[in-house]
Structure 1
Amino acid sequence: MAGTLIRPPVKTLRFVVYHRVLHPELFAIVANRQVMGPGYTLGIRLIPSGHSLSWRLEDACLEEVLGETHMELPETGRLIHKNVEGERTCCFDLTPLWRYHCCVQREQLPPEQFVHLHEELVAEGISRGLLFHYQPRHRLSLAPLSLIRSQPVRRGLSLSCFHTFPEEWTIVKTQSLLEWKRDEPPGRVCC
């Protein structure tokens, strides 16, 4: 299992969104959490390469995966399939009631800036969010980390995900928003 916790290179990442929920057995889950809100349930899973977010709504499902290109993921229900390069955004109506927005950004920083940002993420992750430290490739290296913060917004839920790659001085950030398109909140989802 220790080998699966080492962070893969950034060039092997892809961002995939499905119009369905994928089975958790497809992933090597290192940390997870569930969030419930009006009209939705969200499963947050950290995996060695990034994350898997499973949204369950009253009338639809959505899965967002930041994973490696060699992961065996199904093609059925796939809406977005992109390599992680630069910055990419998307927005679409999931149902007549729900809209999904996402932004994926890959940024390489100078070493000093990277270390400073890494330390800020560690401090923030200790007080809020889902934080996981991976094994560094070398004993004295910075440990890669993943941090996911969820924040309720007026008509939905916003998620900020940060994944660091110290050997490449790179951070991959995703921002996802599931937004209720009407002024009144939907009914509550029960599991």
Structure 2
Amino acid sequence: MSKSSLLQSYKIVLYRRALHPEFFNIQERRHIAHNDYELEAWLMPGGHVLRFQCNGLCFTEIITPDDRSLPERGQIAALPCAGERDHEQEFPEKVNYITTAQTETLTDHLFDSSYQEMLDFARETGALTHEWIDDDGGRCLSMIDIQRYKREVHVQSYHLNGGCGLILRSQTIFEQTD
């Protein structure tokens, strides 16, 4: 896939429900139960799923380069990731969702340095990672790092595609409000 078509294909999709695992090529997963909420993170090649549950509510964020097979039922928002994106959603049930995404395309040298920095960071922090080689022989990496707080959870994701030098960074916050 060309640089521009891969970049243009990435989307953030938010649901107000859980989605079944069979929709996804899950390579790694992590479940966190903390205070009054739960977060489950699924890592796929080039994307991720975050399922946040609290007080009987469920929200799911997906970042994917291919949203064609995703269901429409329960979908709240679908945003392209190209460039810089910010989205905030307040729900009447006292939950806030905030996400930012940035994409950039790097030269081979800068991409290789960033790739190594991400691997080092993942080892230091225990972040969830999946590495693979794309069809063009490029090294690829998807990574999720999670920070828990009393009433919120912060998730940073990084999706690196060596075939085209693409890096997609996102930060998501699910927050319980008073």
- Same fold by TM-score, threshold 0.5 exceeded? yes
Q: Does 1:144 align with 2:140?
A: yes
How far apart are 1:84 and its partner, in Å? Answer: 2.0
Q: What are structure 1's unaligned runs of at least 5 residues?
A: 1-7, 183-191
How far apart are 1:11 and its partner, in Å? Answer: 3.3
Provide, for residues 32-68 of structure 1, a one-character-per-residue CA deviation record: whole Å limited to 9, x for no partner: 1111112211111011230011111113111101113
The one-letter code matched in structure 2 to 1:32 is R
Q: 2:118 aligns with which of 113, 116, 121?
A: 121
Aligned partner of 1:61 in structure 2 is: 58
The structure with more radius of gyration? 1
Q: 2:158 aligns with which of 155, 159, 162?
A: 162
What is the alpha-carbon root mean square deviation over aligned residues?
Answer: 1.8
Residue 107 to residue 38, structure 1, CA distance change in 2 (3 Å): same
Number of equivalent positions: 173
How far apart are 1:146 and its partner, in Å? Answer: 0.7
* Percent identity between the two aligned chains: 24
How far apart are 1:125 and its partner, in Å? Answer: 1.2
Q: 1:94 aligns with which of 91, 95, 98?
A: 91
Residues in 2 aligned to 1:88 and 1:138: alpha-carbon distance in whole angstroms? 28
Residues in 2 aligned to 1:96 and 1:138: alpha-carbon distance in whole angstroms? 46
Other structure's SS at 1:168 match: coil
Q: Does 1:130 align with 2:107?
A: no
Residues in 2 aligned to 1:59 and 1:92: alpha-carbon distance in whole angstroms? 18
Residues in 2 aligned to 1:166 and 1:27: alpha-carbon distance in whole angstroms? 22
Other structure's SS at 2:93 match: coil
Superposition TM-score, scaled by structure 1 size? 0.83
In the TM superposition, 1:1-191 aligns within 5 A as 9-127=6-124, 128-138=126-136, 141=138, 143-182=139-178
The one-letter code matched in structure 2 to 1:42 is L
Confirm or deny: 8 A CA contact 1:18 1:80 kept in the other structure.
yes
Q: What are structure 2's unaligned runs of at least 5 residues?
A: none
Provide, for residues 106-134 of structure 1, a one-character-per-residue CA deviation record: whole Å limited to 9, x for no partner: 11123322221111101111232101101
Superposition TM-score, scaled by structure 2 size? 0.88
More strand by share: 2
How far apart are 1:138 and its partner, in Å? Answer: 4.9
